[in-house]
Each structure stands twice: as C-alpha cells, then as structure tokens.
C-alpha cells in the first residue's frame, strides 16, 4: 500500500511537473493579450522550484529500485537548476521578440520537460529508467533547436540534432541490450555484480560509451555540435552546452563508477583516448572560428575533454572536482553566452570581428566577457582556475602525468583563442564599434549572478568540502 | 594576521581606490600613495626581520602564517619570509614605486593601466611571500596575465604579436610547472597526507627517479620566465613593445620570479636531481649569457639593447644558482636585486628619453648630455652598473658570482665560467658604445636641442633607483647579512648530495 509520502524522494520531479502543468494551464486559459506575462510567471515559478530544491531531501528508492534519490543526486539536480534559472533569465529578451509571440509557453514547457528527463537520468537505478530520461531529455530539445523555424539554419539545427540523437540513442540502446543479454538484468546493481570481462560485455560497454559520447560531444562524436550550436537560438545553445552536457557528464560518471566498476582499467584507457582527442581537436578547431557561437561550441568541446580528467581513475577527488567544475562551468559559460546573446539581441551581430573596439562603448559587458573567458581558460583569480586545477589534481592522483601534460599544453593553446576575443574587444581598433546599448533587466540579473559565481565560487572552499562529503553517497 | 598579508591587501585596496577615483589626477595619486605605503611596509618588514633575527628567532621563515583553505586537498594560504624573500619584496616595492612615477603621464585608459600594473605587482608580492605551492602558482599566474593587456593596449610597435607571444610562452611555462607541482604534491607524503607546503615537502625524502622526472618540468617552467635559452624569445619582443613601467617591472622583477622559483622550488625541493641534471642547465644558461651579450651588439633600438642585456644578466642568475655553492648562490641573489634595480633604471630612462626624442634608435640621437644632463647622468650610472664598475651594485653581484663559479676545479665548470666571464667584456663594449653615441656624440637632430630635462616625478623615479643601486654598491654588507642565514639550509641540502656529475667530464 503506497501513500503520497512514499513519493517524497521524487520531490524534484513532481514539483517540476507541477510547474510545467501550471504553465500549460496558463497557456490554455490566459487571454492572448496577456500571454507575455507567462515569461515572468515561468521564471518566478522556476525560481521558487530552485529554492525548494535546496530544502532537505528525503532519501529513498522507488519502483523497486528503478528510481533513487539522495543528497548527492539532489545536489546534482540543484546544480542544474541554477543553470536553467540563469538560462531562463537570459533568454527572456529573446522570447519577448515579436516574432516569437505565438510560442512563448512552448519554450518553457519543452525546456522544463527536458530538465525532468535529466532528473530521471540522474536518479535512475536501472537502464530502463535511464533510457526514458535520456529520451525525454533529448527529443524536446530538437524542437527547441528549430525554434526559429523561419530560419533555414535553425531548421537545419533541429533536424541535425534529431537525427544525431536518434542515432546515438540507438547505438546506446544496442549496447544496453548486449549488457542485458550477458548479465540478465537492467538494474545497475545487478549488472555491476554480474559484469565480467566477456568480450560481448566490453562491446556493449563501448557502444554505451559511444552513445554517451554523442551527448557530451566528445571527439569523434562531436560533428553535430558546431552546426547545431550555431543554428539554435542562443538560449538553447547555452542550454545544450551547459545543462545538457553537465547532466550527461553526471550520469556518465555515475554509471561508470557504479555499473562498470569492475572494468575500470578498461574504461580508463577509453577515457584517456577520448580526453586527449577531445581536448586537442576541440582546441585546434576553436582557433579557426570567427562566429562566436561556433567558437563557444568548440571551446565547450575542449572543456568536455578537460572534464574527462576528473572522471578518469574514479576517486573521490575526481567526483568532487567534476561536480565543482560543472558548477563553475555553468556560471562561466553562461556568462559568456549571456554576453553574446545580449550583443546579438541589441545589434544582431555575432561575429568576432564585430566585437572590435567594444570596450569603448560597452565596458561592463566586455569586462564580464573577459572574466568569463579567463575562467574558461583557467586563469586565476577567477573560479575556472580552481576548477581546472582540481581536475588536474584528480588525474595526477592516479599518476596520469602525461595526460596532464597534454592537458596543460592544451590549456595554453586554449588561452590563445580566448585571448583572440579579448584582443578584439580591448585592443583592435574600430571606427564604428557596436554602439552602447542597454541590456534588459532580466538578462542583467542573470549576468550578475554569473559574475558573482565566477568570482566567489572559487574562493569559497566550503562548497568544495560539501561536494567532497557527498561523494560517499555515490 | 601576519604583516605579510598587507603586501596583498594594500595593492588590492589601491586598485579599489583607483576604480573609485573620479579624476585623472586622483588616479595616479591614489596609485602612488598605495605603492608608497607598500614601500614603507617592506622597509618595516626588513627592519623587523633584522630585529627578530637578532632577538634569536631561528625559525627558517619569519612572520609565518598558515590558514587552511581547501581542507580535503590540504591547500593552505601559507606566508612567511626569509632573508631572500625580504630582499626581493623590497626590490619589488622599490621598482613598482618607481614604475608608477615613470608612468605618471599615461593618458589613454589611465584607470585600466594602473589597475593592471598594480595587479601585476600584487601577483609578484604574493609569489614572493607564499610558501604553499598552490598559492604560489596562483600568484604567479596573476602576475603574468596583466602583461597581456599592458603590452597589448599601451605598448608600441608590434604590440599584439609581442603580447600574445609573451603571454603564451609564460603560460606554457606555468603549464609545465603545474605538472611538476603535482609531482611534488603526490610525493610529499607516504601516508596519503599530501601537502603543498614547501617547508613540509623539504622534510620528506623524494626518491631519486621521481626527482629526475619532475625536476626538468619545474626548472624549465620557471626557467621560461627566467629567459633561459632557448625559451628566452618572448623577452626581447615583449620588453621592446611594453610601455616603460611595464618593461621596468617585467625585466626588473617578474623575471626574478623565474630565478627565485628555480631556486626555492626546483633546487631546494629536488636537490638530488639538481645535482644530476645541473650540467644541462649550466650549458643552457651559459648560452643565455653569451648569446644575450652578443645579441645586444647588433641592436640599434635602445629597448632591444636592454632587453637582450637582460637575457644575458638573468642568465647569469641561473648560471650562478647552478654552480651550487654558498658564494655563487649568494651572488645569484644579489644579481637578482642588482639587475632588477639596474634594468628598471635603464628602462625608465629609455622611456623618458623616448618621450622626449620620439625615437629609440641610437643612430638618430646624439649629444644628449648637454641637453638633458640629469637623465644622462642617470643613464651613465645605469650603464656603469650594468658593465660591473666598482661602486655600483652590478660589480658586487658579478664579482660574487664569479668568485663562486671559480671555486670549482673541474674542467667543465671552469670552461663554462670562462665563457660567462667573457660576457663582461662584451657588455662593456655595448654599454660604452651606446653611452658614447647618444650622450656624447654629435647632435643629429636639431629638435633635440630644445628638450627639457626631467620633471619632478621623473627625478624622483630615477633618483630612487639610483640611490638603491649605489647604496648596494657602496655598502653591500647589509644585503649579504640579510640573505646569508637563509641560504645556509638550502646550500647544505644541495651539497649534501655532492656533485654527482663531475665525473662525466
């Protein structure tokens, strides 16, 4: 006999579903003229949801272990919530545009649906739930990528993301089926105990990892990234590069550590190769980009390579550093995207050369962009430095010094292209730079939150300590 | 709170003050006041250091303070100074004080300029007082990154190229260093309680193969900043393109970070590897010294002249360190101070002369002695100190280095020393030639006849440095006193493993 209290571990999911339903009701019953209030209503509702997420959680398992929640998993969800909240703030100006009048609520509904999917992924206790979450997290995003449906490039992004998601999910599912076939179960715990070094099992694992590689856009599964990032509306691009990627990294980490613990030395090799190729290729391609969205797309590929340094070797420093990195990455990358989107909304320009001389006209945005880029490059005193240092520490604790050497060389290369943007804004002369403009208030709030995050999260060691304590729950 | 934290706090407060300033004039006065306070603080620290030592405090580091930061990784904010760091901190405050004065007339984006300049100084101060490798590394990078803006925005000539080259090379160096720091950290304990604290790591014996593996990373990492051959190429371009104060600070202080890091981290913590691999770095630094000196002869641009001379003189620091006896290392530290002051004076004067003549080519100048006597006299002092004339700091430093170097009796060291000594002659050539042409030669440009001599801030800037240079030259003993006790444990540690590589040659 189940009662309502038994579902408390699902509080995050249920609450978010409640928010989604409220927005849907608003869409149905609000008169056409006042629909634009839905934007603020959605943002406020989601803000409340984020706050409630920090309340103490009920730990527990549901549906015979298919779903589980604890402090560790709910912290991961909270990290994602913070990011989604900032994305909402930053995209409000975009949704307010005349051309998006008829589809305001869809933006929030679809985005929040994907978030529910990610929650389920993180909390999943078996591959079935994991798969459901994954699909829910992906399919609405394809619709969102094509949100600017009148633009060819956006429609192209949508169809590309759809096809690639279908392919990657197929590959992943194929791998899962092999795992099921050889272990006789889809439950994480059962699979973990029955998992050996059978070649079919290894093959299954490789398929699974390839599927995840598509989601995190690891090289060589990254080819969709730049086009989709460029074509999608900028809010969706930032969502893809931060939230989707973050969630995928979290779940990949959990599955690797929990389910495939018995073949750690095998997947270490795999991660090693993926990390090296992702960092290097991502970096080399980022050097050549002039479109800011494509540029950030390749930079985010390179960052994914760095994240793998935290996953390799499976130790507590690694888990902690990965969580810490993602939290900082959310603030950092969203700050960068926020500035790009503010400039795009005001002037319609998103080419690096258009940024020349921007410091003269919009100094605050430039300073924030500079901080964000430095944080991505890992320069102190901003938070990215700490995040990257700890990721490297985690890899060093396992003795991967050559890998670290490759990573630090890549970090230096990455500094080059981040400095290119800084150079455009601060140094390059321009006779008619983008004139001064005012950023709207919601986007400003988002940028302020990012700034605080970039400055403060690194210095506050207690955040790291809290994460470190949570890792025992994995 | 330890008085040392002031060295980070005062610059940060100054930066805040600069941000809040409303007028042009206020910005530079705030900057000057802040850096004057910094100078006073370092003098106070120097004297209280002496007082503590006389009172019998024998702990290796004074004003020690240790605050836990990241508990799980055992990262601390640890500060403390010994004689060497006290001397270098004092050097830094003298140079930054003079640097602020030298950039008194910066107009373009003035707030940003002083902010970056003082941020750079913050990094340097933080580096010298840090005893924890993590914070040390953090401050190192803070010191490097403002250079990009300082050169890129306010520089001259191919500034974007130079700024990018310098930043990337130095960051590449720090990348190597990072690998080495991890190596030290994960070998700093056998029971899993790893530490970044230099003093703690020094207590542990690190196995020789591990030392050999990580020593090159750390030494080369710092060596890039110390312009060790073949990683010196950022230096001439960077210094030539940088605005005056930045060249001063960079050649004067920032390059010393390299030598200090090589010494404090690489050699102190990995002594056995330093002994085994030292010969490689002796060869490289000998090349730096000689190559730098020859490089100068071809240059016509004053800034390039001094930049190559810096490569040569900073190479001398690494050379002296690698000779690894008490006297030569004494000399290395004094050379750091002496070169810091001399080159800062040189760059300051070059900037001031350039501001008047609008050229830095020695062929286009002449007869300046009659027109701008104050600047010219200072210029001669800087030149004479560079070529090591008695009475100036350069003499004290170079003599000590060479006396130390010739303590070795084997062929390899002697040959290297002879090569290095020959650089003195070459430096005499270029310094005298340069001084002869631009100060005493015939006047080449009539406009130069109407030049005005130094203004008050220029006099103060150059005067501070001249006083320091002659001060060390005339009364060097107090400097020796400051550093001597702090050297002993490090030198003993280095010599404890003997000169293992002499048999090769």
Separation of alpha carbons A216 and A253, rounded Å = 12
Nearest CA in chain B to A398: B186
Q: Tell me how crowded residue B363 is: count the other CB atoms within 10 A of its CB.
A: 12
CA-based nearest residue to B314, from B381, B424, B215, B223: B223
Question: Average pLDDT of chain B?
Answer: 88
pLDDT in tens, A345-379: 888 888 888 899 888 888 999 999 999 999 999 99
pTM of the model: 0.93
Parent domain of B138: 3-504
Confidence (pLDDT) at A473: 78
CB A194 within 8 A of CB A183: yes
| Contacts A397 to B, Cβ<8 Å | 186
DSSP secondary structure of A416-471: HHHHHHHHHHHTS--SSPPPP-PPPHHHHHHHHHHHHHHHHHHH-HHHHHHHHHHG
B-chain CB neighbours of A427 within 8 Å are 152-153, 159-160, 163
> What pLDDT does residue B501 have?
45
Q: In this complex, is the C-beta atom of B138 within 8 Å of any C-beta atom belonging to chain A?
A: yes
Q: Which residues of B touch A366 (CB under 8 A)?
A: none
Task: Answer whether A467 touches B (CB < 8 Å).
Answer: no
Instruction: Say yes or no to pLDDT of B503 above 60.
Output: no
The helix or strand, by DSSP H or E, that contains position B421, with its residue range, turns out to be helix B411-435
Q: What does the pLDDT read at residue A1?
A: 57
B141 at interface of A, judged by CB pairs closer than 8 A: yes
Crossing angle of helices A316-347 and A441-459, rounded to 10°: 150
More confident residue, B451 or B111: B111
Identify the residue among A415, A418, A425, A467 best suited for mutation to test binding to B, counting B beta carbons within 10 A and taking the highest: A415
Q: Do A393 and B145 touch (CB under 8 A)?
A: no
Portion 392-451 of A in contact with B at CB < 8 A: 392-393, 396-397, 399, 401, 404-405, 408-409, 411-412, 415-416, 419, 422-423, 426-427
Task: Summarize the confidence of residues A462-470 as an average pLDDT.
Answer: 88
> Of chain A residues 76-95, which have a CB less than 8 A from chain B?
none
Interface membership of B155 toward A (CB under 8 Å) = no
**Closest approach of B179 to chain A, Cα-based (Å):** 6
CB contact under 8 A, A427 and B153: yes
User: Is the Cα torsion angle B189, A306, A474, A188 positive or negative in sign?
Assistant: negative
Taking 90 as the threshold, does the pLDDT of residue B297 lie above it? Answer: no
Distance in angstroms (rounded) separating the CA atoms of residues B95 and B345: 9
Q: How far apart are CA B11 and CA A467, in angstroms?
A: 33
Phi and psi at B67, nearest 5°, equal: -120, 130
Q: What pLDDT, on a 0 to 100 scale, did the predictor assign at position B495?
A: 80
Q: Is A408 in Cβ contact with B175 (below 8 Å)?
A: yes
- In sequence order, the β-bridge partners of residue B132 are B197
Residue B208: phi and psi, rounded to 5, are: -65, -40
Average pLDDT over residues A242-254: 92
Partner residue facing A381 (CB), from B70, B138, B213: B138
Q: How many CB atoms lie within 10 A of CB A100?
A: 16
**Rounded to whole angstroms, how far apart are CA atoms A338 and A91?**
9
For residue A55, the model assigns a pLDDT of: 87
Whether the predicted pLDDT of B125 surpasses 90: yes
Q: For position B498, what pLDDT does the model report?
A: 55
Residue-level pLDDT at B163? 92
List the structure tokens of B285. 């630094």
- Strand-strand pairing, A67-69 and A60-62: antiparallel
pLDDT for B486: 83
Of A317, A396, A411, the CB nearest to B175: A411
Q: What pLDDT is stored for residue B504 in this prediction?
A: 42
Cβ neighbours of B76 in A, within 8 Å: none
The reply to whether residue A419 touches residue B148, judged by beta carbons under 8 angstroms, is yes
A2-18: average pLDDT: 84
Q: Report the percent of chain B where pLDDT is more than 70.
A: 98
Nearest to B160 among A374, A379, A427 (CB): A427
| Look-up of token digits 């006193």 | B481
Length of chain A: 474
Q: Could you tell me how many CB contacts below 8 A there are between chain A and chain B? A: 82
**To probe the interface with A, which of B71, B72, B210 has the most A CB atoms within 10 Å?**
B72
The string of pLDDT tens digits covering residues A103-127 is 888 899 999 999 999 999 999 989 9
Mean pLDDT, range A139-165, rounded to an integer: 90
Give the total number of structural domains in chain B.
1
Q: Do A392 and B178 touch (CB under 8 A)?
A: yes
User: Which of B77, B132, B171, B211 has the highest number of chain A CBs within 10 A, making it the mutation to test binding with A?
Assistant: B171
- What HEC string does B38-100 produce? HHHHHHHHHHHHHHHHHCCCCCCCEEEEEEEEECCCCEEEEEEECHHHHHHHHHHHHHHHHHH
The pLDDT value given to residue A411 = 92
* pLDDT over threshold 60, residue B502: no
pLDDT tier at B437, thresholds 50, 70, 90: confident
Q: State the DSSP H helix or E strand holding residue B462, giving kind and residue range, or none if neither.
A: helix B456-474
- CB contacts, 8 Å: B149 with chain A: 426
Query: What average pLDDT score do residues A405-420 get?
Result: 93
Chain B residues within an 8 Å CB radius of A411: 171, 175
Is B168 in contact with A416 (Cβ distance < 8 A)? Answer: yes
pLDDT digit string, tens, across residues B46-81: 999 888 888 887 777 888 888 888 888 889 999 998
The alpha carbon dihedral of A298, A303, A306, A307 has a sign of: negative
Domain residue limits, chain A: 7-473
What is the pLDDT, as a whole number, of residue A2?
A: 65
User: Which residue(s) pair with B70 in the sheet?
Assistant: B75
Predicted confidence (pLDDT) at residue B233 exceeds the cutoff of 60: yes
Answer whether B64's CB lies under 8 Å from B136's CB: no
What is the pLDDT at residue B496? Answer: 75
């Amino acid at each position: 006999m189940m009662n309502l209290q038994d579902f408390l571990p699902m509080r995050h999911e249920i609450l978010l579903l409640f928010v989604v339903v409220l927005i849907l009701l608003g869409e149905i019953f609000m008169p056409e003229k006042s629909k634009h209030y839905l934007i603020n209503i959605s943002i406020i509702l989601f803000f409340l949801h984020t706050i409630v997420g920090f309340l103490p959680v009920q730990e527990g398992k549901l549906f015979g272990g298919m779903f589980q929640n604890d402090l560790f998993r709910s912290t991961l969800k909270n990290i994602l919530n913070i990011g989604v909240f900032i994305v909402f703030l930053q995209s409000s100006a975009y949704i307010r545009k005349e051309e998006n009048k008829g589809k305001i609520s869809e933006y929030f509904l679809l985005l929040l649906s994907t978030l529910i999917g990610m929650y389920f992924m993180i909390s999943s206790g078996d591959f079935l739930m994991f798969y459901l979450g994954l699909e829910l997290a992906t399919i609405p995003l394809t619709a969102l990528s094509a949100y600017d449906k009148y633009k060819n490039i956006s429609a192209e992004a949508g169809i590309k993301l759809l096809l690639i998601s279908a392919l990657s999910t197929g590959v992943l599912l194929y791998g899962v089926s092999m795992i099921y076939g050889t272990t006789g179960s889809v439950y994480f715990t059962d699979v973990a105990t029955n998992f050996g070094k059978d070649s079919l099992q290894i093959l299954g694992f490789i398929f699974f990892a390839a599927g995840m590689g598509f989601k995190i856009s690891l090289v060589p599964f990254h080819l969709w990234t730049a086009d989709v990032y460029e074509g999608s509306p900028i809010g969706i691009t930032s969502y893809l590069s931060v939230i989707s990627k973050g969630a995928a990294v979290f779940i990949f980490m959990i599955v690797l550590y929990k389910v495939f613990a018995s073949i750690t030395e095998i997947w270490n090799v795999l991660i090693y190769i993926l990390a090296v190729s992702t960092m290097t290729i991502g970096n080399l391609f980022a050097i050549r980009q002039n479109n800011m969205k494509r540029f950030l797309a390749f930079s985010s590929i390179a960052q994914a390579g760095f994240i793998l340094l935290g996953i390799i070797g499976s130790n507590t420093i690694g888990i902690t550093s990965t969580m810490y990195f993602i939290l900082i990455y959310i603030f950092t990358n969203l700050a960068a995207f926020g500035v790009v989107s503010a400039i795009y909304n005001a002037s319609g320009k998103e080419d690096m050369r258009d940024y020349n001389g921007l410091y003269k006209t919009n100094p605050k945005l430039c300073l924030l962009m500079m901080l964000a880029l430095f944080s991505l490059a890992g320069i102190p005193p901003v938070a990215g430095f700490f995040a990257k240092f700890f990721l490297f520490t985690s890899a060093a604790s396992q003795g991967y010094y050559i890998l670290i050497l490759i990573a630090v060389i890549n970090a230096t290369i990455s500094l080059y292209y981040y400095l290119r943007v800084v150079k455009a804004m601060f140094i390059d002369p321009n006779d008619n730079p983008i004139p001064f403009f005012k950023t709207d208030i919601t986007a400003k709030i988002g940028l302020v939150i990012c700034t605080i995050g970039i400055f403060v999260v690194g210095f506050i060691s207690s955040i790291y300590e809290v994460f470190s304590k949570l890792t025992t729950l994995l | 709170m330890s008085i040392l934290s002031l060295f980070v706090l005062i610059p940060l407060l100054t930066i805040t003050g600069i941000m809040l300033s409303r007028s042009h004039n206020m910005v530079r006065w705030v900057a000057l006041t802040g850096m004057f306070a910094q100078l006073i603080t370092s003098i106070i620290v120097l004297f209280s250091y002496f007082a503590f030592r006389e009172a019998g405090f024998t702990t290796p580091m004074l004003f020690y303070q240790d605050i836990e930061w990241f508990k799980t990784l055992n990262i601390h904010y640890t500060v403390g100074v010994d004689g060497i760091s006290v001397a270098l901190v004092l050097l830094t405050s003298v140079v930054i004080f003079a640097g602020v004065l030298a950039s008194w007339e910066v107009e373009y984006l003035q707030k940003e300029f002083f902010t970056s300049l003082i941020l750079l100084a913050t990094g340097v101060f933080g580096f010298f007082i840090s005893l924890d490798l993590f914070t040390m590394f953090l401050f190192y990078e803070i010191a490097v990154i403002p250079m990009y803006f300082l050169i890129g925005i306010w520089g001259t000539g191919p500034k974007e190229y130079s700024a990018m080259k310098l930043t990337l090379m130095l960051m590449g160096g720090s990348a190597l260093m990072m690998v080495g720091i991890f190596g030290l950290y994960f070998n700093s304990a056998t029971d899993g309680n790893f530490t970044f604290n230099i003093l703690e790591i020094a207590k542990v014996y690190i196995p020789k193969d591990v030392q050999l593996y990580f020593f090159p990373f750390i030494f080369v990492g710092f060596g890039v900043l110390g312009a060790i051959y073949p990683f010196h190429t950022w230096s001439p371009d960077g210094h030539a393109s940088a605005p005056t104060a930045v060249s001063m600070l960079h050649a004067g202080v920032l390059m010393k970070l390299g030598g200090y890091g090589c010494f404090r981290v690489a050699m102190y913590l990995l002594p056995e590897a330093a002994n085994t691999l030292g010969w490689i770095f002796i060869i490289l630094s000998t090349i730096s010294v000689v190559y730098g000196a020859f490089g100068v002869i071809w240059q016509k641009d004053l800034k390039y002249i001094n930049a190559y001379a810096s490569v040569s003189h900073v190479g001398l620091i690494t050379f002296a360190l690698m000779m690894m006896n008490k006297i030569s290392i004494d000399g290395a530290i004094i050379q750091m101070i002496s070169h810091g002051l001399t080159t800062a004076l040189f760059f300051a004067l070059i900037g001031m002369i350039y501001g008047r003549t609008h050229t830095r080519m020695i062929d286009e100048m002449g007869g300046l002695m009659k027109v701008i006597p104050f600047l010219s006299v200072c210029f001669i002092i800087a030149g004479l100190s560079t070529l090591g004339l008695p009475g100036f700091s350069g003499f004290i430093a170079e003599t000590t280095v060479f006396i130390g170097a010739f303590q070795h009796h084997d062929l390899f060291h002697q040959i290297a020393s002879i090569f290095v000594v020959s650089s003195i002659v070459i430096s005499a050539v270029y310094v005298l030639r340069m001084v002869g042409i631009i100060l005493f030669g015939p006047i080449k440009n009539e406009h130069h006849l109407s030049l005005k001599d130094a203004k008050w801030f220029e006099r103060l800037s150059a005067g501070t440095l001249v006083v320091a240079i002659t001060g060390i030259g005339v009364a060097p003993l107090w400097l020796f006193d400051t550093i001597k006790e702090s050297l002993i444990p490090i030198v003993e540690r280095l010599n404890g493993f003997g000169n293992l590589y002499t048999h090769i040659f």
